[in-house]
Structure 1
Amino acid sequence: MSTSRRRFLQKLALSAITLPILPSYAISQTNSRTAPHTQKPVLRVALMGLGGYAQLVANSMQSCTRAKITALISGTPSKLEEWGNKYNVPKHSRYNYENFDDIKDNPEIDAVYVITPNSLHHSQVIRVAKAGKHAICEKPMAINAKQGQEMVDACAAAGVKLLIGYRMRFEPNTLEVVRMRNDGEFGNIKFFQGLAGFRIGDPNQWRLNKELAGGGSLMDIGIYAINGARYMVGEDPVWVTAQETKTDPIKFKEGVDETIQFQLGFSNGTVASCLSTYNMGFLDRFFLNGEKGFAEMRPSIGYGPIKGRTNKGELNHPHIPHQTIQMDEMAGIILDGKKPILPVDGNVGLQDIKIIEAIYRACATGERQELHLT
């Protein structure tokens, strides 16, 4: 994770840093297959790609009741040793990118969480599926829809689940807004606004490399506004228009977008206006407007605490690290067949990639693009 992005998101999480670990989430790092207190099976997870975000996931998982780290995959031997010692992962459960297919023979692994650069997700998830393990993949799931479909198909063929790391789809204040909308408390939804952006730092990082990232801000931070529009409105868009602005072609080279404004249209008449950027700060806001009320979330996508208000007052669900909730909920999806309030399966991720591709086409042509997501 880039330094600037880390600062952007960590500023949103300052109050969470001092939050004590909740005792009810305590779990020891043992080989036990059953969670203490609940007597439900624990999801045994291999983390792939031991970078900045994986560190946040790993730390948050120490508070999970139903998920634990049992294996590591990295191309850096020193990280495997450091993380292995820190999280009590034995040497035989530490893999590199060349030999991780051997996870098929490791009964202490149920799922692999792929947290690597975007362009690597496709091949790595397919290898995970062929090894007979469930796959959790960071967003965006792939750099194009063709790859995304192949990932979905590979997991289906192998009989394993593919979940995408959409942590906001488990966040309590977000789900409260979804509940209110589902219950008709906002009336017919008319408008959504999603602002997502920060000033990116190091120009040599992989997020500014088209071969690794597949694009620019839209792939990284803009996808939150795309996905957010879908779960806040409660519908999928049927058309998109978009405009790209680039003020620094040296830093943001060909194929790496700096700033994109895009508009989404929904079959129920709702419209969405969204902004994705790597060159403006203080952009982390969702706004939903209906005939009877509204919901505003700011911050809406940072690591928390997420804050919001509606026409009926403030949203006040207590903050728990998003990755803690996400991994416990994903354990329920994988091990119990639990149906989440908001789906996070590979098809949801594939639909976001289709929208991203349409946005890029709209920028290139200046024309409205019709969407066919199913």
Structure 2
Amino acid sequence: MSKDVDLPNRRTVMTTAGAVGLGLAASANAATSRPPAVDAGVVSDGKVQFPPSSDPSDSQPQQPPNPDPRDKRVGFAVVGLGKLALEQILPAFAQAKHGRLAALVSGTPDKLRAIAAQYGIPADCCYGYDDFARISSNSAVEAVYVVTPNALHHRDVLAAAKAEKNVLCEKPMATTAHECRDMIAATASAKVRLMIAYRMQYQPHAREAIKQARGGKLGDVVLMDMINNQNQGDPAQWRQKRALAGGGSLPDVGLYCLNTARAILGEEPSEVSATIWSPAGDPRFAEVEDNVSFTLRFPSGVIANCLTSYGTHRLQRLKLMGTSAWLEMENAFAYEGQRLRVAQLVDGKEHNAELTIPAQNQFALEIDHFAQCIRSSRTPRTPGEEGLQDQVIIEAIYASAREGRPVKLERIVKRDAFRGAEPEAAD
């Protein structure tokens, strides 16, 4: 054996083996030991929360959603399986924490079967409009979400009230103030809750705008500018038919401007003035209006200028102008993509900053708010009375445009006169 080859001696072998053994033991202990709370979280009252894991100078991660156990969530039946229901509302239940999809109602049997299979809804929880009354005996359904065309809301809310189910109804609430009052009376008589799906009053960016405006961070709000436009296509769709829609751009997309202006201030307008114009010969506007410009005057002196259209490239913007700052929200009335900016003077220089607000599903937020109101026996933030007030103002806007003059509204002094409980903070 060559003397140049250096073989390990017994001590080296034993030392190396011991080190490996200790390493394996340490790994085994680490694998079986309980991780610290910062990694494992802490369970309290059935919810998991994590202590802060980032340095205080950094933003902290969001907490887990902590949904209610499935059997504790409020079961909803979705009434009407059109585009809004299939593209937005049904998928939103996956992000809801307090509500769950329990039943479906449609007048198209093959579509009903297809959607039920997609969402795992059993056949005995699927209904047509002709046998909707059967839903009264379904204890899994505590609420219905009405997503049918505007003119059918009255019919479907009354049917839900007769079945003694709570009702979340899409906006606009109905096509006349008389129908709105009838819906409020029917649900009150049945002792069930009625909420109108004004998603902007639950959307986080809009709620921040309300907070900024009411908290004095903009100074005194003096002017509001709101635009909600889109370019409608096929004239055969129900939104272009007066008998089903009740109107054109005003009750559909213009309503967002109206309701949001009222929600931001907490005031009710004392006067409206409006102009309506539709292009001649366009089949899309044979029955409903295209462009509407309307102005809301509030008792405090605030003026809200609102524009809505069915015939221009999509634009959805909100701007609040105060005595010391302005606030602007891009994509204000869209389902997603909101951006909020505030401009003000800081140390003598104009400062323009974008506020970072985590995105949340607007439909899930309103579903959860209604579910929590049902569980806690509270009036929702946007009850039927809120929808009725908007319809009263819409009728005044139409009258102003028709008569070519401003229309006075009933003076209402109380702030948030038609609203219930504030939406809950995300838990």
Q: TM-score range by the shorter chain?
A: 0.7 to 0.9
Partner of residue 355, structure 2: 315
Structure 1 residues 32-56: Cα deviation after superposition (integer angstroms, max 9, x where no partner): xxx23xx993110000001111011
- Partner SS, residue 130 of structure 2: coil
Partner of residue 410, structure 2: 372
Letter of the 1:176 counterpart: E
Structure 1 residues 110-136: Cα deviation after superposition (integer angstroms, max 9, x where no partner): 000000100000011011011100011
Letter of the 1:100 counterpart: F
Q: Is the 8 A contact 1:41 1:335 kept in 2?
A: no
- Partner SS, residue 283 of structure 2: coil
Q: Which moved more, 1:304-313 or 1:71-80?
A: 304-313
The 3 A distance-change label for structure 1 pair 373 and 199 is: farther
User: C-alpha distance in 2, partners of 1:86/1:26?
Assistant: 25
Q: Which of 41, 48, 52 is equivalent to 2:79?
A: 48
Partner of residue 220, structure 2: 188
Q: Which of 394, 402, 407 is equivalent to 1:356?
A: 394
Q: Is the 8 A contact 1:112 1:133 kept in 2?
A: yes
Instruction: Compute the displacement of 1:23 (Å).
Output: 9.5
Instruction: Compute the displacement of 1:279 (Å).
Output: 0.6
Higher gyration radius (CA)? 2
Q: Is the 8 A contact 1:26 1:64 kept in 2?
A: no
Instruction: Compute the displacement of 1:250 (Å).
Output: 3.6
Q: Is the 8 A contact 1:351 1:373 kept in 2?
A: no
After superposition, where does 1:1-374 map in structure 2 within 5 Å? 24-25=64-65, 35-36=68-69, 41-55=72-86, 56-253=88-285, 255-311=287-343, 313-338=353-378, 343-372=381-410
Q: Is the 8 A contact 1:70 1:93 kept in 2?
A: yes
Letter of the 2:314 counterpart: F
Percent identical residues = 35
Structure 1 residues 312-333: Cα deviation after superposition (integer angstroms, max 9, x where no partner): 6212111122112221122112
Letter of the 2:312 counterpart: M
Q: Is the 8 A contact 1:42 1:331 kept in 2?
A: yes
- Partner SS, residue 311 of structure 1: strand
User: C-alpha distance in 1, partners of 2:328/2:148?
Assistant: 32
User: C-alpha distance in 2, partners of 1:23/1:67?
Assistant: 19
Q: Is the 8 A contact 1:173 1:316 kept in 2?
A: no
Instruction: Compute the displacement of 1:249 (Å).
Output: 4.1
- Partner SS, residue 84 of structure 2: helix
Instruction: Compute the displacement of 1:187 (Å).
Output: 2.1
User: C-alpha distance in 1, partners of 2:384/2:379?
Assistant: 14
Structure 1 residues 167-225: Cα deviation after superposition (integer angstroms, max 9, x where no partner): 11111111111112222112222111110111100011100000000011111111011
- Partner SS, residue 222 of structure 1: helix
User: C-alpha distance in 1, partners of 2:111/2:96?
Assistant: 23
Structure 1 residues 284-340: Cα deviation after superposition (integer angstroms, max 9, x where no partner): 001111112221111101011211111262121111221122211221122223566
- Partner SS, residue 129 of structure 2: coil
- Partner SS, residue 229 of structure 2: strand
User: C-alpha distance in 1, partners of 2:106/2:193?
Assistant: 22
Q: Is the 8 A contact 1:233 1:288 kept in 2?
A: no
Structure 1 residues 58-88: Cα deviation after superposition (integer angstroms, max 9, x where no partner): 1111121111100000001112111111111
Q: Is the 8 A contact 1:286 1:296 kept in 2?
A: yes
Greater RCO (Cα-Cα under 8 Å, separation 6 or more): 1
User: C-alpha distance in 1, partners of 2:131/2:281?
Assistant: 39
Taking structure 1 as the reference length, the TM-score comes to 0.87
Instruction: Compute the displacement of 1:233 (Å).
Output: 2.7
The 3 A distance-change label for structure 1 pair 95 and 214 is: same
Instruction: Compute the displacement of 1:282 (Å).
Output: 3.2
Taking structure 2 as the reference length, the TM-score comes to 0.77
Q: Is the 8 A contact 2:250 2:292 kept in 1?
A: yes
Letter of the 1:71 counterpart: A
The 3 A distance-change label for structure 1 pair 210 and 25 is: same
Residue correspondences, number: 342
Q: Is the 8 A contact 2:142 2:166 kept in 1?
A: yes
Instruction: Compute the displacement of 1:232 (Å).
Output: 2.1
Letter of the 2:333 counterpart: I
Question: Structure 1 stretches of 5 or more lacking a match?
Answer: 1-21, 28-34
Instruction: Compute the displacement of 1:25 (Å).
Output: 4.3
Letter of the 2:131 counterpart: N
Letter of the 1:280 counterpart: T
